[in-house]
Structure 1
Amino acid sequence: MILRSLSLILLLWIIGFAWFAVDLPRQADEDVRTDSVVVLTGGSKRIDRALTILESDKAKRLLVSGVDRNVKPGELAAEYDRPVKLFDCCIDLGFQAVDTRSNALETARWAARREDKSVRLVTSDWHMRRAQLELERAMPPEITIVSDAVQTAPSLGTLFKEYNKFLMRRLAALAGV
């Protein structure tokens, strides 16, 4: 009986991992507008994608969450070849987050202060499910979250680690943690 139960759990894990790896989240529809956009630092092309959304008037304001405390807006403007005035008028840097869970908390506080009704979440495709889970748990239910995944080519190791993190956070959420 124990062997069958363990086999069933393993089979469910394998099927879940296959789904997780094959059906990665995608980029949002180009026509979608939101009050703001938030990008979680840590992956290539994430900030570029968020800046493109902001510059195409698909959102009014951008939060870059998880920025190192030593980074200045002018440095980011230079790195991403954008005018400093764009950072002055429309971009907030979030320095409080150190992981996905604190990204969600930082974003929720920022969106609540702004009284946003909708937020576009930009992160890598392999990271999106866990980031969205954390953001949904942190945000008030009346704020709509639109996922906008940056397409990548993650390694099997990256997918394996992220799938297990996602499962652990899902279980923790069910336990109320």
Structure 2
Amino acid sequence: MSRKPVRPPASGKRRRAPLASALRVLAALVLGWSAGFLWFVASLPSSAPLDQRTDVVVVLTGGQGRLARGLAVLEAGAAGRMLISGVAPATTAAMIAEAAGVPLNRLATTDLGYGAIDTRSNAAETASWVVRRRAASLRVITAAPHMRRALLELSQVLPPDVAILVDAVPDQDSMARLAIEYTKYLARRAALALGLA
């Protein structure tokens, strides 16, 4: 009686197993990112009332409405002094006043920060200024989608006893821009968690 030849086990299943695992991991990552993005968009911070006072206020440059909000804070007496962080090197106070459509004397209690080129250096510049001013409280003005990343960076460098008041400027960013900002926020959190900062 002749024996049937023994066939080796099919290798297709073995080849498909790692691919299936990778797809499951990718699907989980996409699902997690999507759920987090929905939370990010639904819980964007809002503006703070002008009757809430802080020692100083910082305006992080880069979007419409931020400087106008900072000037409104000063005019309301809600802060004693303002820093505009991230000013271009060739920009003067007179140029800022002209662009904002206000007289130069409206910037009499405003300092211009020329040392920042991104959110991380915004935070470093702000922290150094806050320490020099011996301020115990700080109002932070930036666009609503940018606020969480700004606060994350500030938490790394500000003295722990400085109280922060969030004053977010509404933004009309597209969903694509919001997704980019959310991804930047996640990436920075991951870098800090891994000690890569």
Please give the TM-score of this superposition, normalised by the length of structure 2. 0.85
1:153 matched residue in structure 2: 172
Following the alignment from structure 1 to structure 2, what is the Cα–Cα distance between the partners of residues 4 and 157?
25
2:151 matched residue in structure 1: 132
How many equivalent residue pairs?
A: 176
Q: In 1, are the aligned partners of 2:50 and 2:76 still within 8 Å (CA)?
A: no
1:119 matched residue in structure 2: 138
DSSP 3-state at the match of 2:82: strand
Please give the TM-score of this superposition, normalised by the length of structure 1. 0.94
The letter for the 2-side match of 1:34 is: T
Following the alignment from structure 2 to structure 1, what is the Cα–Cα distance between the partners of residues 151 and 180?
17
Q: Does 1:25 align with 2:25?
A: no
RMSD: 1.3
Following the alignment from structure 2 to structure 1, what is the Cα–Cα distance between the partners of residues 49 and 30?
36
Return structure 1 stretches of 4+ with deviation > 6 angstroms: none
The letter for the 1-side match of 2:164 is: I
1:91 matched residue in structure 2: 110
**Post-superposition shift, 1:9?**
2.4
DSSP 3-state at the match of 1:127: helix
1:162 matched residue in structure 2: 181
1:67 matched residue in structure 2: 87
Structure 2: 5+ residue stretches without partners:
1-20
DSSP 3-state at the match of 1:98: coil
Following the alignment from structure 2 to structure 1, what is the Cα–Cα distance between the partners of residues 39 and 180?
15
Q: Pick from 124, 128, 132: which aligns with 1:105? A: 124
Q: In 2, are the aligned partners of 1:40 and 1:122 still within 8 Å (CA)?
A: yes
Following the alignment from structure 1 to structure 2, what is the Cα–Cα distance between the partners of residues 77 and 6?
50
